[in-house]
Amino acid sequence: GESVGLHLPTLSVQEGDNSIINCAYSNSASDYFIWYKQESGKGPQFIIDIRSNMDKRQGQRVTVLLNKTVKHLSLQIAATQPGDSAVYFCAENNFNKFYFGSGTKLNVKP
Amino acid sequence: GAVVSQHPSRVICKSGTSVKIECRSLDFQATTMFWYRQFPKQSLMLMATSNEGSKATYEQGVEKDKFLINHASLTLSTLTVTSAHPEDSSFYICSASPGANTNEKLFFGSGTQLSVL
């Protein structure tokens, strides 16, 4: 499958601060992306998605940015809370299959 | 969101035995389901695509005779790990999309932790 990678394996932030998690993808033909949150021992939980005809999409406390020029995705979490501590993955849809990046562990310090 | 149920959540078996994992879409029909494998502190690796009424398609490097997939109905796919060995120990996760095609939101089951002794 295509390679979808992340710049930072671990991110530590203070509670209340904003978090930014990055992801690089390699297939310029990919047209759909999803961010997932995974807590230990559980399946991934859908956070937010974005299609390639958009460059920004906002949800509740989360924003995804897509830069197709440099094939880069980011997930912004506003006012990060302890419950946000988890591993975050971006997933790229390629030929109707989803391939996952390596993940970033988010640690929220109280 | 759509609910995907996976069972069992944890299984311990002896080397050489076969283990079956079930994945059900509870509130939608899924002609396609996906099976992933995840090792500790690693990402999800796509193993295969399960297609209702037809053969599964496997990713490169995944042994189809080792990981048997059956998608007998629009709400159930099963993964059977045959003649399991300790190196098959892993977290297996299924997923499905309620959309009309597979380029839609993908929802995941809660995963199955397989430990082979």
- Nearest CB among B101, B102, B108 relative to A43 is that of B108
Residue A3: band (very low, low, confident or very high) from pLDDT cuts 50, 70, 90: very low
N- to C-terminal Cα separation, chain A: 38
Query: DSSP string of A67-106?
Result: ETTTTEEEEEESS--GGG-EEEEEEEEETTEEEE---EEE
The full length of chain B comes to: 117
**Which two three-digit tokens encode residue B90?**
């892993």
Do B15 and B87 form a contact (C-beta atoms < 8 A)?
Answer: no
Amino acid, single-letter form, for residue A30 = S
Q: Is B13 on the interface with A (CB under 8 A)?
A: no
Q: Give the pLDDT confidence of B27-65 residue by residue, as tens digits.
A: 999 989 999 999 988 899 999 999 888 899 999 999 999
Main-chain phi, psi angles of A37, to 5 degrees: -115, 135
Residue A25 scores a pLDDT above 60: yes
**What residues form DSSP beta bridges with A106?**
A11, A86
Contact between A41 and B111 using a beta-carbon 8 Å cutoff? yes
